[in-house]
Structure 1
Amino acid sequence: MAQTTGTHSSYDATGNYDDLADVVYKVWADETPGLSRIKRNKATATYHEWVRSALASSGTNYVIEGDEATADTLVSRTRAGNYTCISDKVPIVTGTQEAVSKAGVDSEMAYQLEKLMKELKTDVEKMIWDNNARVAGNDTTAREAAGMPSWLISNVDKASDATLATGDGTDAFTTGTARALTENLVESCLASVYASGGNPTWGTLGTWQKRKFAAFTANTTRTQEQNKSGKLVNTVDVYTDPLGFTVQLVPNRHSVTSMIFFVDPDYTRISILRDFRSWDLAKLGDHFRKQLLAEWTLEVSSEKAHGMITDLSTS
């Protein structure tokens, strides 16, 4: 069969409306486990400091009856500090783009503000866990905050050829040869945290390491069952070690994939000098400009309260 001569079809028409759905589908990896869980406090200067104290190691303590009291050697408290860093996003939208009709969006600037605020927060999430040393900065160099691996030295399970950071934020951890995650590594790290006095309640890790937990064969708190509908559930969301630590395992798209962190929430803070906010920038022409900005740093109040497993294979 063929068209009748003179038939006018949609292939010939030039005035038909485009069929564009009036919605924007947002697949955004915008979860921020660390930024959402770690408590906040206030920074009041670009170099934020805190004071640490630790107990002496336990030992035998026998005193002769009637003995004259002998003074103990006291250990001074120590100071630690991290630089605040400025993180920002700057959307610029022309007056025309703001005015025209758009699919799924009323205001281009409002849409970009929503999107860039999420991007800004995921940037901060990544920097919390980055293996990065602090940088003081100057008129031509941005300040940088030291990430978690730069602070942890007491409870770190690492490859034999890896090198710990100094532990004061001034240098980064040096990675070694990759090895597979095993339950022995987890137990060893958590046992070290226990001996140091920490009480971690959650851990953050990449998706590959989270999947490795599901393969552990010991008596973990496991959900692995096949119900009547044929659905198989195989996950370890909570890990209880032999010492009694119950740690929630939180997958993190933005943390270092070869590292696992066990966090005691009482001993770390996000210190805010300027909180997340946006404001208008001066108009320089036919466009709208805004800036989204936060100034913050990571306070690792006591590194002995946390644990880290490093140098893990990621495939």
Structure 2
Amino acid sequence: MAVPTNTSQTYNVTTIKEDISDVVDKVTPTETPFYSMLSKGKAENTYHEWSEVALDSATDSNEVVEGDDPGADAANNAVRLGNYCQLSDKLVQVSSTNNAVSGVGNIQTLAQQVILKGQALKLDMEKQMLSNKAASAGSSSTARRSASFISFIRSNASRGTGGAAPTLSGTTAGYPNAAPTDGTQRAFTETLLKTVLSSIWSNGGNAKYAFMGATQKQTASTFTGNATRYKEAEDKKLTAAVDIYVSDFGEVQFVPSRNIRARDVILVDPNMVAVDFLQTMKQEPIAKTGHSEKKLISVEYTLKVRNEKAHGHVADLS
């Protein structure tokens, strides 16, 4: 059917107001499962220390003669472990004009930019704690660095050929002064997982979570265990993901992580690791110097692994 002459159509009108949704969708995820799991504590110096103690090994020959006068057993002395506090920040600078104009979702404003940078800073913390880095004391010209989680794990680890455990500054005490050495990569198997879980249990630990990237999570979903079940057992939807792995030593929840290295799977007892803050996350205005406002978002923190024997590391995965 023909359009009547002189009918006004949208194709000929240039003054129609734009239709832009005020909802802004972020494709970048903000989940920080490892950081969110950790208990939060307080550090009081740039070098943060805590103590670790081990009980005597169990013996089946603790037989004492009646009336005996026993000598003193060796004391269970603690060792001092530590990590350095790392200062991290994001700086936001927004012009007064950007604050004044009406934008889509008002993302351009100082307030919204502070929120976004705060989320990004938490992601940086997650990435740092799941990286492969030793601690560093820093200097007047070099930043201090907090050691990552796997730089503490020496006892319960499965490594590829050529892989080496991290070291401490005092051999059995101090801070991680060398991160683990990456070895030859190999496939992630249920046998590797079981080996590390067995080692953790034998050393007195009870790992509850296994953090892993996308590839290893898909592989782990094929493991059978003694039995497997889904986190929401009442959900009848067909799913291919194994969330709970029932091992010989208890249940372990598989947690996918976007910020862990693809070659690592870490096994974690949440009661034995924390993040301690010298300065909790805060925002501070920076001196105004022109037609813009600046705010500094910062945090100073360190990772505290209370006892490395409670955790595990399946390393060098392809």
Tell me, yes or no, whether TM beats 0.5: yes
Work out which of the residue numbers 229, 235, 240 in structure 1 matches 2:241.
Answer: 235
Q: Is the contact made by 1:223 and 1:234 (CA closer than 8 Å) also made in structure 2?
A: no
Call closer, same or farther: CA 1:223–1:248 in 2, change over 3 Å. Answer: closer
What amino acid is the match of 1:221? T
Question: Unaligned regions of 5+ residues in structure 2, if any?
Answer: 169-174
Q: Is the contact made by 2:151 and 2:179 (CA closer than 8 Å) also made in structure 1?
A: yes
Please give the per-residue CA displacement for 1:128-164, whole angstroms capped at 9, x wherever unaligned: 1111011111111111000011110000111132111
Matched residues, number: 308
1:84 aligns to what? Answer: 85
- RMSD over aligned Cα atoms: 2.4
What amino acid is the match of 2:17? Y
Q: Is the contact made by 1:187 and 1:241 (CA closer than 8 Å) also made in structure 2?
A: yes
2:26 aligns to what? Answer: 26
Q: Report SS of the residue matched to 1:127.
A: helix
1:160 aligns to what? Answer: 161
Work out which of the residue numbers 162, 171, 174 in structure 1 matches 2:181.
Answer: 174
Call closer, same or farther: CA 1:199–1:136 in 2, change over 3 Å. Answer: same
- Aligned-residue offset at 1:300: 0.7
Q: Is the contact made by 1:24 and 1:105 (CA closer than 8 Å) also made in structure 2?
A: no
Q: Is the contact made by 1:23 and 1:105 (CA closer than 8 Å) also made in structure 2?
A: no
What amino acid is the match of 2:131? D
Q: Is the contact made by 2:40 and 2:276 (CA closer than 8 Å) also made in structure 1?
A: yes
Question: Unaligned regions of 5+ residues in structure 1, if any?
Answer: none
2:265 aligns to what? Answer: 260
1:211 aligns with 2:218: yes
Q: Is the contact made by 2:206 and 2:310 (CA closer than 8 Å) also made in structure 1?
A: yes
- Aligned-residue offset at 1:33: 0.8
- Whole-angstrom CA distance in 2 between matches of 1:34 and 1:232: 27
- Aligned-residue offset at 1:8: 7.0
Q: Is the contact made by 1:272 and 1:297 (CA closer than 8 Å) also made in structure 2?
A: yes
2:171 aligns to what? Answer: none
1:129 aligns to what? Answer: 130
1:17 aligns to what? Answer: 17
Call closer, same or farther: CA 1:279–1:62 in 2, change over 3 Å. Answer: closer
Q: Greater CA deviation, 126-135 or 68-77?
A: 68-77
Please give the per-residue CA displacement for 1:73-103, whole angstroms capped at 9, x wherever unaligned: 3353110111101111111000111111111
- Aligned-residue offset at 1:72: 2.9
- Aligned-residue offset at 1:217: 3.5
What amino acid is the match of 1:137? G
Call closer, same or farther: CA 1:18–1:129 in 2, change over 3 Å. Answer: same
Q: Is the contact made by 1:131 and 1:149 (CA closer than 8 Å) also made in structure 2?
A: yes
